[in-house]
Homo-oligomer: A and B are copies of this chain.
Amino acid sequence: MMYDIEVKVSLKPGMLNPEATTIQRSLALLGYEVKGTKTKEIITFVLEADSEDDAREKVDDMCQKLLCNPIIHNYTINIIKMDLSCGCGCE
């Protein structure tokens, strides 16, 4: 089975986010007063796995080992089963 994976990585509450601070300050210089600016990163890819549970386990491993720093990041995983049928009902 092929699965569309989306991993959303954000900083844990309380962590400093200099990128967001800079964006907010720059927007203020342009005349736009905004509050509570935050940034997140999304990583998407296609993964082959036996089941959704198997896919989630693999992606969780990837997050712990490479995609996130579990000390400073929170992450959420979205898994969508790809529809590869041709629409004629043959599958």
Please provide the chain A residues from 54 to 81 with a CB less than 8 Å away from any CB of chain B in the complex. 58, 61-62, 65-67
Report copies per complex. 2
- Bound-complex Cα distance A66 to B30 (A): 9
- Bound-complex Cα distance A48 to B30 (A): 15
Contact A43 B32 (CB under 8 A): no
Instruction: Choose among B27, B32, B46, B61 the residue that contacts A34 (Cβ–Cβ < 8 A).
Output: B46
Contact B42 A40 (CB under 8 A): yes
Contact A42 B41 (CB under 8 A): yes
- Bound-complex Cα distance A33 to B38 (A): 31
Which 3 interchain pairs have the tightest Cβ spacing?
A34-B45, A40-B42, A37-B45
